[in-house]
Structure 1
């Protein structure tokens, strides 16, 4: 069953169209692993990135035994929060318990992520390199399906998911940003078409739904940035993924691009009375898990 059709059936009031020409990715049995030592549970880990120790929390659900490859989800926290906060509030840990995948909760410098024009105090922080080092570390210690690494995040963390789609499409198979949009000043040149599932609240007081200038709320000075807006971000990814010029009939909740290159998908879901909030973790995972790297 197509992903958006499944969402339409699962979520009350959701009425969205899907692209019937997009094939489901192949379902392969999980490959076996040997030599990895990670045990089920929570692990506080660190990696060296350009001479700096970067920290993250890795969660392996009770079902994880290291005998077969499982997906890995990178879950990025919001500005001024933390990896611990994201672990406790995003809902991805509970979904991982039910569905048997690993979740990494990275910790940002200044409790922020460097998207290029914002949002860490220093523009030299390389969070894309951090993501790559983190995935490499997890792969070395656990049984990860490297074709099924995903990124999600809330607010500034959603911006980091977009950043990985732009700059590390060889690393992540698909992304699910929430409560954030593409930034005009951010360079974006993905190495391949990549599926995006975006969630936005129409009444968001922090990231304006219609786009425009904004200054991130930090204790250190940052330059003003310009958001493309929810529809602008959707249009950007439709172009980057070489989707057809039209979209499916917009519903009260979701809009999806028509035929996109290499079976990629571009989806925007909007809460009419929603504010600066995250999307349901299970729904995001239901989208992400059906995609894999070529």
Structure 2
């Protein structure tokens, strides 16, 4: 059963939906927590929207995400409802299953759904750094049915227990990351950052797709897996701890193209 889309978690937290106007840099209240939300630039006001739930990095807040030039652009700015929860004291609790921050993020989505029509079959979760770790935790806590996990420069232990399974997984990591060092496998494998999802989704051998670039100054090497129960992509690059230009919007666009659009 898909716990991710269930309002019971929202009700059991004793959270209430705020009727006040909010959006963009003006936070929306959910109980004693808050989140930010941004509708697409050219939205017609009626069409149900895919959702990108993004967890900010350590020490940040969701208002930064609303205008972030590596997140809120292109496919995200044009076609996706962007939701950015605010972490308590700028951080997230992702160390154990059933995180209270997962409950809060589900409540934020339910609150946003009372304000905007959303497509619950096309909900993505992303995050950067500490927020990428939280995105992994949310994907594990959410149950099955999450459209995609997009993780940037962060992950969780590949041997942990994880109940949920996203339909699509996209991970990007830099070999020269000095903040959250690249998680090589036991024998130095460079595909280890997605080992957990490859096992859960029933993946076989990966396909090395070779180099590609969104911008001329950064080249990725991509490995992909077409799996029995989904699809996994790992992009690696020689750089450090940052969100690569265009990477998040491109992954959303590619997954929507793979899974089909309603428009």
TM-score range, shorter chain: 0.7 to 0.9
| 1:36-66 Cα deviation digits (max 9, x unpaired) | x999962420212xxxx11111111332243
Unaligned runs of 5+ in 2: 1-18, 212-220
Q: Does residue 181 of the first structure (1) align with residue 149 of the second (2)?
A: no
Q: State the secondary structure of the residue aligned to 1:64.
A: coil
Return the offset for 1:137. Answer: 0.8
What does residue 241 of structure 2 align with?
Answer: 276
Q: State the secondary structure of the residue aligned to 1:203.
A: coil
Judge conservation of contact 1:151–1:161 (CA < 8 Å) in 2.
yes
Matches within 5 A, 1:1-294: 42=24, 43-48=26-31, 53-89=32-68, 91-95=70-74, 98-116=77-95, 126-170=100-144, 172-183=146-157, 186-190=160-164, 192=165, 194-211=167-184, 231-244=191-204, 246-249=205-208, 251-252=210-211, 253-257=221-225, 259-262=226-229, 264-272=230-238, 274-279=239-244, 280=246, 281-290=248-257
What does residue 218 of structure 2 align with?
Answer: none
Task: Give the paired residue count.
Answer: 228
Q: State the secondary structure of the residue aligned to 1:99.
A: helix
Q: State the secondary structure of the residue aligned to 1:265.
A: strand
Return the offset for 1:92. Answer: 2.5
**Which stretches of structure 1, 4 residues or more, deviate above 6 A after TM superposition?**
37-40
**C-alpha distance 248-200 of structure 1, shift in aligned 2 (>3 A):** same
**C-alpha distance 291-173 of structure 1, shift in aligned 2 (>3 A):** farther
Judge conservation of contact 1:39–1:65 (CA < 8 Å) in 2.
no
**C-alpha distance 41-210 of structure 1, shift in aligned 2 (>3 A):** closer
**C-alpha distance 291-108 of structure 1, shift in aligned 2 (>3 A):** farther
| 1:64-94 Cα deviation digits (max 9, x unpaired) | 2431111111111001122122333353322
Q: State the secondary structure of the residue aligned to 2:156.
A: coil
TM-score if structure 1 supplies the norm length?
Answer: 0.68
Judge conservation of contact 1:167–1:188 (CA < 8 Å) in 2.
yes
**C-alpha distance 171-128 of structure 1, shift in aligned 2 (>3 A):** farther
Provide the C-alpha distance between the structure 1 equivalents of 2:21 and 2:228, rounded to a whole number of angstroms. 39
Structure number with greater CO (CA < 8 Å, separation at least 6) is 1
Return the offset for 1:100. Answer: 2.3
| 1:109-141 Cα deviation digits (max 9, x unpaired) | 121111125xxxxx9960110111111111112
Kindly report the root-mean-square deviation, in angstroms, between the aligned alpha carbons of the 2 structures.
3.0
Unaligned runs of 5+ in 1: 1-36, 118-122, 213-227
TM-score if structure 2 supplies the norm length?
Answer: 0.76
Judge conservation of contact 1:164–1:172 (CA < 8 Å) in 2.
no
Q: Does 280-289 or 71-80 show the bigger shift?
A: 280-289
Judge conservation of contact 2:158–2:193 (CA < 8 Å) in 1.
no
Provide the C-alpha distance between the structure 1 equivalents of 2:113 and 2:256, rounded to a whole number of angstroms. 18
Judge conservation of contact 2:148–2:166 (CA < 8 Å) in 1.
no
